[in-house]
A and B are shown apart, each in its own frame.
Chain A
């Protein structure tokens, strides 16, 4: 008869929430991990997502969501310590290693990840993926950047603009 939330909150077991991806897959995670998302945090604080009814995420598919949650679960303990001021160097190194490994993935997955991180407002993940994409762009010429990101070939007009820009700021391409 007791409300499940209060029961979960008071004893040792962590409170769980259910997230539902766009393709209707249900993910059960600790509330602390899901709360890394600013978007979900309020819903979770209001007691949503527990029990039978999950939180639907119509913009995130299951493959992306599982990747996002992998990140959240790994980073939740550090985030709970308030940015982990007392974390050991070993812990920090481990997280860094995880992050590097985590973004070492196929480009298109990277883009769905950053989109999801943006929609869910997971700051750490967003900046991690943005940094990775920035690293892919760094040191490349405009044309190389277009190819790297798979943009369509420039129209003659665009090509002319690109050339004009490069002529003007040639020193930046040395």
Chain B
């Protein structure tokens, strides 16, 4: 130390200082570095939590295209929320999912709208310091609450990597499900493990054209080599997870700065979560002694919304699908949970007489979540659970991502008789005539009200409120339960008014000499749900063309 004294200056000198540090100096500096390291670790975790928060919001976003709110997926229009454009991402967003902000610029302040994702991203950029470093600093995504064994495995892994190098290992995260999230290593390690939500990963990730459920495959090709096929899908699952980690890995590369998170979202995020149908949590148990399959439908999360208030009225229909079709003719239906997209069902279903070979030979448990509405049950999501692993390894509790609609969903939705039949109508707003044109195409499966086993149906139409107070009647189709009308009716109205108006349809059986019999009703308008809401809004948004849609008739009378 003293040998270097001549080189100690308080000011500035040319040349590089060469003083070597004494042991006690090293100790002192190391102590500071270690203290800093603690702080940095906490900071990386904090940044990780902030990043994860935004990622979660992004995942929940509907992202259905330019005609719908980026976040909640509501379509815009006169009946729906007005369309705003987010100043940052330039994507359309509704007023509920955005905030107004005074932005300071060199030219002065101006008011801008930001969607929730961009406003949260901005906030995240402030809080993480990314605004300063022009990129998100290194971070660690917080650990999932997982099974104890895996947790300790990850912990030890992390501990090994922690010292000095600070290369951050990112463990999987984004998803909310607890057991299913796996790191790449986990996926490989447990690739032999049975259905632990991973089969659902297959369905969730292979949304592309070639995605096939192992069971669906088998249904087509009878008794094929099932084990092979199952294995194939396990592999796909693990590859998908790898991709996913790869994607995250790019965010938390060992560079000091990472790509911006939104760039990251554009190249990977959207594709595997779209379309977004939410999740179903259930537990399944098979008793070989009793030949019963017990299925507890616990809850669903993040279901699509079905009405303008952002709600749905979900219920489940469930059945076992064997290679020969659905096992029970009648699908079991749960009670409806009203006004929610995160319903708690907590209902148990017991399937009796389920033979072991049925499970082994590729049956699946099929749960369809539908929206309960008196004019039809719109599809919310479907879960397909391979039952072979359930047979071999006992009870399972799982959270599965919901899948797109297929034939079984239609079967489920239509099972249970629609007493009042269906009606096909087309709507068109004609801008020249300034009128809503309603075309009654046809009805099917109407109720028989006459002694001859038929009805003599006709349709009455009116708008409410309607300044013209117009009421229309279609012609009468004699002796039929499946009448074809193809008649058009025009209601003078403005697009702006359509927002608040309802179209009321009633179907009647013409009786001579006594009062007509009621056959069914349908109301369409801005407060309708699902398909009906879509037809109504499409009609407003895309005028001068017909929008055709089947609807179920309800038995409810419409008061005058």
**Interaction A to B:** no
| Chain B residues within CB distance 8 Å of chain A | none
